[in-house]
Amino acid sequence: MTDGITPSQTVGPFFAYCLTPKDYDVREIFSPDVAGPGVQGARIRIEGRVFDGAGEGVGDAMLEIWQADAEGRYAHPADVGARGNAGFTGFGRAPTAPDGGFAFTTVKPGPVPGPGGTTQAPHVSLTVFSRGVLTHLRTRIYFDDEPANGGDPVLALVPEARRGTLVARSTAPGVYRFDVRLQGEGETVFFEA
Amino acid sequence: MGLIYPTGSAAAHPSNDSPGYKSTSLRHPKQPLVLLPHTLSEVTGPVYGHETVRPGDDDLTRQHAGEPLGERIIVRGRVLDEDGRPVPDTLVEIWQANAAGRYVHVKDQHPAPLDPNFTGAGRAVTDAEGRYAFTSIKPGAYPWRNHHNAWRPAHIHFSLFGPSFLSRLVTQMYFPGDPLFPFDPIFNAITDPRARERLISRFDMDTTQPEWALGYVFDIVLRGRDQTPTEEPHDD
Ligand SMILES: [Fe+2]
């Protein structure tokens, strides 16, 4: 037994040279480009901006995504059905630009099992780290061209008027727009888990 | 892989609505959080281990031609789950200011010198017993603009993955006896004093190496505990 978990603290404003060190003389181990050349599936780009409660872009945030592959398999031992997706890690990390902008390139995830024999619509798990955020925020990205959204057991838990904040909008073939609003008008739905 | 993640454990985390820390004011959600069931999407997560680090990534004093200025330290500890079992083969990323309290980040422009022999970024992977270790220099306290005469206590930033997307943790390690603790709104955003204590490393003479470096121990507990054993399901 332990006394309890180690609590979170903000990532602060100065993480880039370690966590997203593209502009520094430090080797980068994670990137916003999740799908390498050998990975099966439809290539997509998820782009957007992170906004604060005043509508200003948040230029010092870091986003991380976690997703299944195109066939709905997670690269993790807890996914007992997953086999043969070794080329796809499913994890990406992106800093925001000064205007709050970010982009990931990946493959469209497949549907994955949900609780009680249900099926979850294709989605990407998203976490937001930033100065001014003491405990990282957790949300999900769904896709507006997926009929399965209507039967998704997690979307069903979200008040209908706010569900749209979790749905990325197709803006061009293979391109989806997903903005994150930390506070205020159109505030993104965040989860506790 | 039968880990469960009791939601009550997460109560140790600071609330994002912490007015003493000014940057939270426009960055915390005001709508209620939605309780997310722990589906396969949550109980899986990125698995990064030994392939991500290279020899020397864990020694922040040897990344340049010369040695950095400052008090040389060894920071070691174990990464554990809530049951106290080791979390093996998991990536630990750290970053910190130099001995003068200055970060190499382009946005840190406060009047303290950069050290040409110190970047301040390190990586390590836990061994089979969940152990990690870094060699570095003790970071300095630094001023920030949260309020008049605001200074952060000396700290090292930590980032860890653990077994799933639910165990992901970004935090800060502090040093024992820092006089700035009572004045720091980031540290004190954690309301439970026992939880705050868990962010303070402990000076350790056994880790301290003669003629070389002071030793500090910082154990990290991530979310996750063993599934309570249940009876075999019956079909009837
Ligand atoms: Fe810091």
Whole-complex ipTM = 0.97
What was the pLDDT predicted at A87?
A: 73
Of the CA atoms within 13 Å of residue B112, those in its CB half-sphere come to 18
**Alpha helices by DSSP H, chain B:** 40-43, 193-197
- Domains along chain A with CATH numbers: 7-181 (2.60.130.10)
Residue range B12-26: mean pLDDT, rounded: 98
Does residue A77 surpass a pLDDT of 70? Answer: yes
- Is B27's pLDDT higher than 50? yes
- pLDDT tens column, B205-229: 999 999 999 999 999 999 999 986 5
Average pLDDT of B52-73?
97
Which of A54, A76, A79 is facing B26, going by the closest CB pair? A54
Single-letter amino acid, residue B118? F
Question: What mean pLDDT is reported for chain A?
Answer: 95
CA of A126 from ligand 1 middle (Å) equals 24
Q: What is the pLDDT of residue A85?
A: 61
Instruction: Assess contact for B140 and B97: CB atoms under 8 A.
Output: yes
Which of A71-80, B165-174, B176-185 bottoms out in mean pLDDT, i.e. has the lowest?
Answer: A71-80
- Alpha-carbon gap, residue B157 to B174, rounded angstroms: 9
pLDDT on residue A37? 87
Model pLDDT for residues B83-138, shown as the tens digit of each residue:
999 999 999 999 999 999 999 999 998 999 999 999 999 999 999 999 999 999 99
Strand partners, B131: B78
- Tell whether the model's pLDDT for residue A1 goes beyond 90: no
pTM: 0.96
Best of A15, A17, A18 to disrupt the B interface by mutation (most B CBs within 10 Å)? Answer: A18
Q: Does A4 contact B82 at a Cβ distance shorter than 8 Å?
A: yes
For strands A175-177 and A180-181, give the pairing: unpaired
- At residue A82, the pLDDT reads 64
Nearest-angstrom CA–CA distance, B3 and B1: 6
Amino acid code (one letter) for B154: A
* Distance separating alpha carbons of residues B105 and A82, to the nearest angstrom: 40
What pLDDT sits at residue A41? 95
CA-nearest of B227, B229, B223, B226 to B7 is B223
pLDDT reading at B236 higher than 60: no
| B31: helix, strand or coil | coil
Catalytic residue set of B: 103, 142, 152, 155, 157
CA distance B214 to chain A (A): 23
Phi/psi at B139 (5° precision): -70, 150
pLDDT > 70 fraction of chain A, expressed in percent and rounded: 97
pLDDT at B182: 98
Q: Of A190, A44, A170, A67, which is closest to residue A124 (Cα–Cα)?
A: A67
The shortest CB-CB distance from A5 to any of B107, B119, B222 is to B222
Reported confidence tier of residue A153, pLDDT bands at 50, 70, 90:
very high
Cβ pair A73, A113 in contact under 8 A = no
Mean pLDDT of chain B: 95
Using the predicted structure, report yes or no on whether residue A175 has a pLDDT greater than 70.
yes
For A92-159, the DSSP string reads EEEEPPTTSEEEEEEEPPPPEE-GGG-EEPSEEEEEEEETT-SS-EEEEEEETT-GGGGG-TTGGGS-
The pLDDT value given to residue B192? 97
Separation of B34 CA from ligand 1 center, angstroms?
A: 30
Q: CA–CA separation, B149 vs A92, rounded Å?
A: 38
Whether A83 has a pLDDT exceeding 70, the answer reads: no
pLDDT for residue B234 is more than 70: no
Question: What pLDDT shows up at residue A110?
Answer: 97
For B9, the 3-state DSSP assignment is helix
Residue A152 has pLDDT above 50, yes or no: yes
- Give yes or no for residue B231 having a pLDDT over 60: no
Q: Pick from B17, B30, B40, B109 the residue to mutate for testing the A interface (most A CBs within 10 Å).
A: B40
- CA distance readout (Å), A105 to A46, A63, B67: 6, 13, 39
Has residue B76 got a pLDDT over 90?
yes
Confidence (pLDDT) at A86: 57
